[in-house]
Amino acid sequence: LHLDERSYLAISELFVQLTFLSKQSGALGRTISRATELIWTIETLLVESQRRPVSERVLADLAAPSTRDDVALVLHTIHERYASNLSISELAREVSLSESALRRAVRASTGFTLRKYLHRVRLLRFEHLVAESTVPFAEAARMVGWSSASHARAAFFRSHGMSPRAFRA
């Protein structure tokens, strides 16, 4: 499969939700309904990513962030330093672009604004800590760069429709 970054992040989030549902007890009908909805959404994203002809997908891969070294470097920096207080001006300076040019280039490459991309990376890291460790939620929030546990809980709830505590359980 040739998935762009946006599809990969979306599918990853859906699989996390599906994993949670498989461990959840409760109303079986609602669980099955939600799991089916998640599976259909995953299937739709996969089918849409493969709908383009192979030559078109290869060209899209060549036009992806890997050909824009400046954008690839910024995305790499975000993935490496997501927990630090990254600023757009600092990132733009690192790749010798203006802030507005960097914003446009990242949006064109990923489909997300810089802020939204950083938020999604932090959310995925937070999800991993919640699911795979016993780190307290406030500490997990700090580890991914969020200043408060309440912000992390709210972001998690908006993304998953449940609290981190329920997800971990």
Q: What is the pLDDT of residues 151-165, one digit of tens each?
A: 999 998 888 888 898
pLDDT at 89: 92
Q: Rounded distance, CA 122 to CA 4, Å?
A: 19
Q: Rounded distance, CA 124 to CA 25, Å?
A: 24
Element housing 153 (H / E): helix 149-160
Q: Rounded distance, CA 49 to CA 67, Å?
A: 20
pLDDT tops 90 at residue 169: no
pLDDT tops 70 at residue 113: yes
* pTM, to two decimals: 0.60
Q: What is the pLDDT of residues 21-52, one digit of tens each?
A: 777 776 666 777 778 788 888 887 887 766 65
**Residue with more model confidence, 56 or 83:** 83
Could you say which DSSP state residue 1 is in?
-
Q: Rounded distance, CA 10 to CA 32, Å?
A: 20
Neighbours of 69 (CB within 10 A): 10
Share of the chain above pLDDT 70, in %: 85
> In the predicted model, what is the mean pLDDT of the chain?
81
- For CA atoms 167, 161, 146, 99, the dihedral sign is positive
**Residue with more model confidence, 58 or 96:** 96
Q: Rounded distance, CA 141 to CA 126, Å?
A: 7
